[in-house]
Amino acid sequence: MSSYTRYDGITSSDWNSEGDYVSIRVLGCSGGLSGNNQQGSTCIQLNETTLIDAGTGLAGLSLEEMQRIRHIFLTHAHMDHIAALPTFLSNQFDQQDLPVKVYGLAETLTRLQDNIFNNEIWPDFTQLVESEVPMLELVEVSAGDIISHQNLTLELFAVEHSIPTIGYSVKSEGSHFIFCADCTESDQLAADLNRLAPIDILMIECAFPDRLTEVAEKSKHMTPSMLHRTLAKIPDVKHVWITHLKPSYEKELRNVLHGSRLTVL
Protein backbone atom coordinates (compact mmCIF):
# COMPACT_ATOMS: atom_id res chain seq x y z
CA MET A 1 0.00 0.00 0.00
CA SER A 2 3.01 2.32 0.09
CA SER A 3 2.17 3.84 -3.31
CA TYR A 4 -1.38 4.81 -2.30
CA THR A 5 -2.64 8.07 -0.90
CA ARG A 6 -5.67 7.95 1.36
CA TYR A 7 -8.53 10.16 0.13
CA ASP A 8 -8.84 13.22 2.38
CA GLY A 9 -10.87 15.57 0.22
CA ILE A 10 -10.61 17.21 -3.18
CA THR A 11 -9.74 20.89 -3.18
CA SER A 12 -11.15 23.40 -5.61
CA SER A 13 -7.84 23.48 -7.48
CA ASP A 14 -8.29 19.78 -8.31
CA TRP A 15 -11.50 20.40 -10.26
CA ASN A 16 -12.45 22.25 -13.38
CA SER A 17 -13.51 25.63 -11.98
CA GLU A 18 -16.42 25.76 -14.40
CA GLY A 19 -17.71 22.32 -13.46
CA ASP A 20 -20.51 23.27 -11.06
CA TYR A 21 -23.09 21.09 -12.81
CA VAL A 22 -23.00 17.47 -13.80
CA SER A 23 -22.79 17.02 -17.57
CA ILE A 24 -22.71 13.30 -18.27
CA ARG A 25 -20.93 12.10 -21.40
CA VAL A 26 -21.12 8.33 -21.85
CA LEU A 27 -18.01 7.44 -23.84
CA GLY A 28 -18.61 3.70 -23.54
CA CYS A 29 -20.95 1.32 -21.72
CA SER A 30 -20.92 -1.94 -23.67
CA GLY A 31 -20.59 -5.32 -22.01
CA GLY A 32 -18.11 -6.52 -24.64
CA LEU A 33 -16.65 -6.03 -28.11
CA SER A 34 -18.08 -6.84 -31.53
CA GLY A 35 -17.42 -5.81 -35.10
CA ASN A 36 -20.60 -3.74 -35.23
CA ASN A 37 -20.15 -2.19 -31.81
CA GLN A 38 -18.49 1.21 -31.96
CA GLN A 39 -19.39 2.10 -28.40
CA GLY A 40 -16.54 0.62 -26.38
CA SER A 41 -16.52 -0.53 -22.78
CA THR A 42 -17.27 1.54 -19.71
CA CYS A 43 -16.03 5.12 -19.50
CA ILE A 44 -18.12 8.09 -18.33
CA GLN A 45 -16.98 11.71 -18.46
CA LEU A 46 -18.31 13.93 -15.65
CA ASN A 47 -16.51 17.11 -16.67
CA GLU A 48 -13.46 18.26 -18.59
CA THR A 49 -11.03 16.72 -16.10
CA THR A 50 -12.91 13.78 -14.58
CA LEU A 51 -13.89 10.25 -15.63
CA ILE A 52 -15.58 7.27 -14.04
CA ASP A 53 -13.76 4.14 -15.26
CA ALA A 54 -11.31 3.81 -18.13
CA GLY A 55 -12.63 1.18 -20.49
CA THR A 56 -12.11 1.23 -24.25
CA GLY A 57 -14.71 3.99 -24.59
CA LEU A 58 -12.00 6.37 -23.41
CA ALA A 59 -10.66 6.24 -26.97
CA GLY A 60 -13.63 8.44 -27.92
CA LEU A 61 -11.75 11.42 -26.50
CA SER A 62 -9.37 13.40 -28.67
CA LEU A 63 -5.72 13.57 -27.64
CA GLU A 64 -6.27 17.11 -26.38
CA GLU A 65 -9.28 15.99 -24.32
CA MET A 66 -7.30 13.07 -22.88
CA GLN A 67 -4.52 15.39 -21.78
CA ARG A 68 -7.00 17.46 -19.77
CA ILE A 69 -8.15 14.44 -17.73
CA ARG A 70 -6.71 14.53 -14.20
CA HIS A 71 -9.10 12.38 -12.13
CA ILE A 72 -10.35 8.84 -12.82
CA PHE A 73 -12.71 7.19 -10.35
CA LEU A 74 -12.69 3.41 -10.79
CA THR A 75 -15.60 1.15 -9.86
CA HIS A 76 -13.55 -2.06 -9.87
CA ALA A 77 -10.58 -3.75 -11.53
CA HIS A 78 -12.18 -5.84 -14.27
CA MET A 79 -10.52 -5.34 -17.65
CA ASP A 80 -13.51 -3.77 -19.41
CA HIS A 81 -13.35 -0.93 -16.86
CA ILE A 82 -9.58 -0.33 -16.91
CA ALA A 83 -8.47 -1.46 -20.39
CA ALA A 84 -7.53 1.99 -21.74
CA LEU A 85 -5.86 3.25 -18.57
CA PRO A 86 -2.27 2.11 -19.32
CA THR A 87 -2.14 3.53 -22.85
CA PHE A 88 -4.04 6.66 -21.78
CA LEU A 89 -1.25 7.37 -19.29
CA SER A 90 1.31 7.12 -22.09
CA ASN A 91 -0.27 10.29 -23.52
CA GLN A 92 0.52 12.24 -20.36
CA PHE A 93 4.29 12.70 -20.59
CA ASP A 94 3.91 16.38 -21.51
CA GLN A 95 1.29 17.02 -18.81
CA GLN A 96 3.29 16.38 -15.68
CA ASP A 97 2.73 19.53 -13.63
CA LEU A 98 -0.04 17.49 -11.92
CA PRO A 99 -0.32 13.70 -11.71
CA VAL A 100 -3.35 11.82 -12.94
CA LYS A 101 -5.15 10.72 -9.79
CA VAL A 102 -6.78 7.29 -10.01
CA TYR A 103 -9.23 6.62 -7.19
CA GLY A 104 -10.35 3.14 -6.21
CA LEU A 105 -10.92 0.62 -3.47
CA ALA A 106 -7.78 -0.80 -1.86
CA GLU A 107 -8.45 -4.11 -3.64
CA THR A 108 -8.74 -2.32 -7.00
CA LEU A 109 -5.50 -0.39 -6.57
CA THR A 110 -3.64 -3.50 -5.42
CA ARG A 111 -4.72 -5.34 -8.57
CA LEU A 112 -3.58 -2.43 -10.73
CA GLN A 113 -0.21 -2.22 -9.01
CA ASP A 114 0.46 -5.96 -8.92
CA ASN A 115 -0.90 -6.96 -12.33
CA ILE A 116 -0.63 -3.93 -14.63
CA PHE A 117 1.78 -1.25 -13.39
CA ASN A 118 4.45 -3.76 -12.40
CA ASN A 119 7.21 -2.91 -14.93
CA GLU A 120 6.45 -6.15 -16.77
CA ILE A 121 3.00 -5.73 -18.29
CA TRP A 122 3.35 -1.91 -18.22
CA PRO A 123 5.69 0.64 -16.62
CA ASP A 124 5.00 1.62 -13.03
CA PHE A 125 3.89 5.19 -13.63
CA THR A 126 3.72 5.86 -9.90
CA GLN A 127 7.54 5.75 -10.06
CA LEU A 128 8.47 6.50 -13.68
CA VAL A 129 8.89 10.26 -13.96
CA GLU A 130 10.82 12.81 -15.98
CA SER A 131 10.19 15.54 -13.42
CA GLU A 132 9.64 15.84 -9.70
CA VAL A 133 5.92 15.11 -10.15
CA PRO A 134 4.84 11.46 -10.64
CA MET A 135 2.66 10.75 -13.64
CA LEU A 136 0.21 8.60 -11.65
CA GLU A 137 -1.08 8.85 -8.10
CA LEU A 138 -3.21 6.02 -6.70
CA VAL A 139 -5.76 7.25 -4.17
CA GLU A 140 -7.60 4.80 -1.94
CA VAL A 141 -11.31 5.37 -1.32
CA SER A 142 -13.98 3.33 0.46
CA ALA A 143 -17.71 2.78 0.26
CA GLY A 144 -19.34 5.50 2.32
CA ASP A 145 -16.85 8.20 1.35
CA ILE A 146 -18.32 11.54 0.28
CA ILE A 147 -16.18 13.66 -2.02
CA SER A 148 -17.33 17.27 -2.27
CA HIS A 149 -16.44 20.40 -4.24
CA GLN A 150 -18.72 23.40 -4.70
CA ASN A 151 -22.02 22.03 -6.03
CA LEU A 152 -20.61 18.63 -7.04
CA THR A 153 -20.72 15.75 -4.57
CA LEU A 154 -19.70 12.14 -5.16
CA GLU A 155 -20.94 9.53 -2.70
CA LEU A 156 -19.53 6.01 -2.96
CA PHE A 157 -21.61 2.92 -2.19
CA ALA A 158 -20.82 -0.80 -2.31
CA VAL A 159 -22.50 -3.01 -4.90
CA GLU A 160 -22.53 -6.79 -5.14
CA HIS A 161 -20.30 -8.11 -7.93
CA SER A 162 -17.77 -10.91 -8.33
CA ILE A 163 -14.95 -8.70 -6.98
CA PRO A 164 -15.08 -5.66 -4.67
CA THR A 165 -16.95 -2.91 -6.54
CA ILE A 166 -18.38 0.52 -5.82
CA GLY A 167 -21.04 2.65 -7.46
CA TYR A 168 -21.06 6.44 -7.61
CA SER A 169 -23.76 8.95 -6.76
CA VAL A 170 -22.94 12.28 -8.43
CA LYS A 171 -24.97 15.27 -7.26
CA SER A 172 -24.93 18.89 -8.31
CA GLU A 173 -27.18 21.79 -7.44
CA GLY A 174 -29.49 20.90 -10.30
CA SER A 175 -29.11 17.19 -10.97
CA HIS A 176 -28.42 13.75 -9.53
CA PHE A 177 -26.79 10.94 -11.53
CA ILE A 178 -26.06 7.46 -10.18
CA PHE A 179 -23.85 4.84 -11.81
CA CYS A 180 -24.27 1.38 -10.30
CA ALA A 181 -21.28 -0.17 -12.08
CA ASP A 182 -21.41 -3.95 -12.54
CA CYS A 183 -23.86 -5.37 -10.03
CA THR A 184 -26.52 -7.94 -9.31
CA GLU A 185 -29.90 -7.82 -7.62
CA SER A 186 -29.75 -7.35 -3.86
CA ASP A 187 -31.79 -5.87 -1.05
CA GLN A 188 -28.85 -3.65 -0.16
CA LEU A 189 -28.71 -2.15 -3.65
CA ALA A 190 -32.38 -1.21 -3.50
CA ALA A 191 -31.94 0.19 0.01
CA ASP A 192 -28.94 2.31 -1.01
CA LEU A 193 -30.66 3.68 -4.10
CA ASN A 194 -33.77 4.61 -2.10
CA ARG A 195 -31.56 6.26 0.51
CA LEU A 196 -29.86 8.32 -2.20
CA ALA A 197 -33.10 9.23 -4.03
CA PRO A 198 -34.52 11.27 -5.67
CA ILE A 199 -32.51 10.31 -8.74
CA ASP A 200 -32.62 12.07 -12.11
CA ILE A 201 -30.65 9.45 -14.04
CA LEU A 202 -29.90 5.93 -12.85
CA MET A 203 -27.35 4.09 -14.98
CA ILE A 204 -27.61 0.37 -14.28
CA GLU A 205 -26.57 -2.81 -16.06
CA CYS A 206 -28.32 -5.76 -17.67
CA ALA A 207 -25.80 -8.21 -19.08
CA PHE A 208 -27.63 -11.51 -19.69
CA PRO A 209 -31.09 -12.69 -20.79
CA ASP A 210 -33.36 -14.49 -18.34
CA ARG A 211 -32.52 -17.87 -19.88
CA LEU A 212 -28.98 -17.36 -18.51
CA THR A 213 -30.07 -16.49 -14.98
CA GLU A 214 -27.68 -19.04 -13.49
CA VAL A 215 -24.74 -17.46 -15.33
CA ALA A 216 -25.84 -14.01 -14.18
CA GLU A 217 -26.11 -15.18 -10.58
CA LYS A 218 -22.66 -16.76 -10.61
CA SER A 219 -20.99 -13.79 -12.31
CA LYS A 220 -22.99 -11.26 -10.25
CA HIS A 221 -24.67 -9.49 -13.15
CA MET A 222 -28.30 -8.61 -13.95
CA THR A 223 -30.98 -10.17 -16.15
CA PRO A 224 -34.14 -8.31 -17.25
CA SER A 225 -36.21 -9.96 -14.50
CA MET A 226 -33.61 -9.05 -11.87
CA LEU A 227 -33.48 -5.50 -13.17
CA HIS A 228 -37.27 -5.04 -13.24
CA ARG A 229 -37.59 -6.36 -9.68
CA THR A 230 -34.90 -3.94 -8.56
CA LEU A 231 -36.48 -0.95 -10.31
CA ALA A 232 -39.89 -1.80 -8.84
CA LYS A 233 -38.39 -1.14 -5.40
CA ILE A 234 -37.03 2.30 -6.40
CA PRO A 235 -39.93 4.57 -7.36
CA ASP A 236 -38.17 7.93 -7.17
CA VAL A 237 -36.13 7.70 -10.39
CA LYS A 238 -36.90 9.87 -13.42
CA HIS A 239 -34.80 8.13 -16.07
CA VAL A 240 -33.10 4.72 -16.21
CA TRP A 241 -30.20 4.15 -18.60
CA ILE A 242 -29.58 0.43 -19.13
CA THR A 243 -26.02 -0.54 -19.99
CA HIS A 244 -23.46 -3.34 -20.17
CA LEU A 245 -25.43 -5.53 -22.59
CA LYS A 246 -23.31 -8.45 -23.78
CA PRO A 247 -23.06 -8.14 -27.59
CA SER A 248 -24.05 -11.80 -28.09
CA TYR A 249 -27.39 -11.12 -26.39
CA GLU A 250 -27.93 -7.46 -27.25
CA LYS A 251 -30.80 -7.95 -29.71
CA GLU A 252 -32.53 -10.38 -27.37
CA LEU A 253 -32.19 -7.99 -24.44
CA ARG A 254 -33.37 -4.94 -26.37
CA ASN A 255 -36.53 -6.83 -27.34
CA VAL A 256 -37.58 -7.22 -23.71
CA LEU A 257 -36.22 -4.10 -22.00
CA HIS A 258 -39.12 -1.67 -22.28
CA GLY A 259 -40.69 0.88 -19.97
CA SER A 260 -41.71 4.52 -19.83
CA ARG A 261 -38.57 5.58 -17.97
CA LEU A 262 -36.14 3.10 -19.58
CA THR A 263 -33.52 3.86 -22.23
CA VAL A 264 -31.21 1.10 -23.45
CA LEU A 265 -27.81 2.55 -24.36
Per-residue pLDDT tens digits for 113-143: 999 999 999 999 998 666 677 889 999 999 9
Structural domain including 113 reads 4-264
Per-residue pLDDT tens over the stretch 206-238: 999 999 999 999 999 999 999 999 999 999 999
Which residues, in sequence order, are bridge partners of residue 103? 73, 139
Cα–Cα distance list, 71 to 45, 131, 183, 252, 264 (Å): 10, 20, 23, 36, 27
Its pTM surpasses 0.85? yes
Tens of pLDDT along 64-74? 999 999 999 99
- Tell me, what's the pLDDT at 36? 58
b/e burial code for range 71-105 (CB count within 10 A of at least 16 → b)? bbbbbbbbebbbbbbbebbeebeebeeebbbbbbb
Q: At 177, which CATH number? A: 3.60.15.10
The predicted-structure confidence for 137-179, as pLDDT tens digits, reads as follows 999 999 999 998 546 799 999 999 999 999 999 998 889 999 9
Residues 6+ apart with CB under 8 A from 15: 47, 49, 50, 71, 149, 150, 152
Task: Give the per-residue pLDDT at 2.
Answer: 38
- Residue 130, number of CB atoms within 10 A of its CB: 9
Q: How many domains does the chain have?
A: 1
Average pLDDT (254-264) is 94
* Residue 236 burial by Cβ neighbours in a 10 Å radius (0-12, 13-18, 19+): exposed
DSSP 41: B
What pLDDT score was predicted for residue 33?
A: 81
